[in-house]
Amino acid sequence: GFKCGIVGLPNVGKSTLFNALTKTAAAQAANYPFCTIEPNTGEVAVPDARLFDIAKIATSKEIVPTRINFVDIAGLVRGASQGEGLGNQFLANIREVDAIVHVLRCFEDDDITHVEGKIDPVSDAETVETELMLSDLESLERRITQMRKRATGNDKEAKLLLPMMEDALKLLQDSKPVRLLLDGIAAEDLKILKSLNLLTSKPVLYVCNVAEDHAAEGNEHSAAVEKMAAEQGARSVLISAAIEAEIAQLDDEEAKEYMETMGLEEPGLDRLIREGYTLLNLITFFTAGPKEARAWTVKKGSKAPQAAGEIHTDFEKGFIRAQTIAFDDYISLGGETAAKEAGKARDEGKEYVVHDGDVMLFKFNV
């Protein structure tokens, strides 16, 4: 599955947040048996109101959401790239994830030590980013000399990889993260960039962890983070880990009341999970019938056979075509039969690029 790694300096609220996520996952597991929990990985359902709308129309007995993973990556301290703390282990763990959720301490609490001595989330973000950039710089410099030689010797792979490596190196030498290359990147280039497996090439979401009474509006620290994120073309979410930990222990009714008193419309975790999903560059398509309504995940840009393959590998191999109804049509017309009558059930072939929200039915050979 797709993985978001939760990183941040010590004492910023990572574990609190992760525990709330896994508690939520555990609660979900009662309804969705496939939501598994491992020590440092939580598989959580992606909240999506559209699925419930579809299930209502299709009179589906079961509702099965799609899910993503969050991984708790502890152990980052200043000097990690030099092997401080759990440095190497930490960096190896980041390599395994598809995107980074970077938790920043935006709450004041004199009882809880801040490793850098003061609350300054923008400077904390820079500390973490610097470690990641140093690690990337070292790893690239190690590889690039040989790659340059191979490219002069007309080595095909080297000629393909080298330009991207040079671009990445230039950024890092300029103290900039490699993810700046992601903006508007072509699919083939993205593949090359990913194959370099650089830590700062992964997309980042900043999480501003604020105190309970700042959960709705934020504070000066979270405002500073939002500004920084905007400058980087990154996104940020406002969350109070303490509130989320509380909500995770309540039943639905109690949680609703509690959120009301806190001025929240939904759990911050729901927003976090959705933002994580977007960060991973994923989209959702649906299948709907009387047995179940189900949400499925594919990478943005995937074609119909790949979507079919999410359901079963045989569906992909034997793919013939996909009956496709846009979500809005499915809802406004009132389901599959009506959509067909209105000519809104399209027959799509192998080259069809799946849209977010498509309700699909696959025809295949076995």
Residues that bind ligand GDP (CB under 6 A): 8, 10-16, 107, 109, 112, 209, 211, 240-242
Q: 62-64 and 3-7 as β-strands: parallel, antiparallel, unpaired?
A: unpaired
In 3D space, the residue among 330, 349, 340 whose CA is nearest the CA of residue 285 turns out to be 330
Does the annotation flag 24 for ligand binding? no
Strand partners, 294: 64, 287
Q: Does 349 belong to an annotated binding site?
A: no
What's the closest the beta carbon of residue 114 comes to ligand GDP, in angstroms?
A: 10
Q: Is 14 labelled as part of a ligand binding site?
A: yes
Q: Smaller CB distance to ligand GDP: residue 66 or 127? A: 127
Residue type, 213: D
φ and ψ at 237, to 5 degrees? -125, 150
Nearest residue (CB) to ligand GDP, 19 versus 130:
19
> Could you give the residue ranges of the DSSP H alpha helices within 71-205?
87-95, 121-152, 156-173, 187-195
The alpha carbon of 352 is separated from its chain's Cα centroid by a whole number of angstroms, namely 25
Supply 22's token pair.
Answer: 């896994």
Rounded Cα–Cα distance for residues 204 and 147 (Å): 28
For tokens 């000519």, name the residue.
343
Shortest Å, Cβ 274 to ligand GDP = 21
Choose between 23 and 321: whose C-beta lies nearer to ligand GDP.
Answer: 23
- Whole-number Å distance between alpha carbons of 272 and 239: 8
Of 242 and 326, the one with the shorter C-beta distance to ligand GDP is: 242
Q: Is 204 annotated as a binding residue?
A: no
Angle between helices 14-31 and 268-279 (to 10 degrees): 90
| Residue (10 or 289) nearer to ligand GDP, CB | 10
Least distance to ligand GDP from the beta carbon of 11, Å? 4
Q: How many CB atoms lie within 10 A of CB 186?
A: 8
Q: How far is the CB of 259 from ligand GDP (least distance, A)?
A: 16
Q: Is 12 annotated as contributing to ligand binding?
A: yes
Residue 85 marked ligand-binding: no
- For residue 319, what are the β-bridge partners? 364
Is-contact 176 162, C-beta < 8 A?
no
Minimum separation from the CB atom of position 225 to ligand GDP (A):
14
What minimum distance in Å lies between the beta carbon of 260 and ligand GDP? 19
Instruction: Identify which of 286, 285, 187, 272 has the alpha carbon closest to the alpha carbon of residue 235.
Output: 272
> How far apart are CB 28 and ligand GDP at their closest, in Å?
21
Of the two residues 109 and 141, which places its CB atom closer to ligand GDP in the complex?
109
Count the residues in the chain: 366
Q: Is residue 11 a contact partner of residue 106, using CB atoms and an 8 Å limit?
A: no
**Do β-strands 41-45 and 67-72 pair in parallel, antiparallel, or remain unpaired?**
antiparallel
Residue positions in the annotated binding site for ATP? 11-16
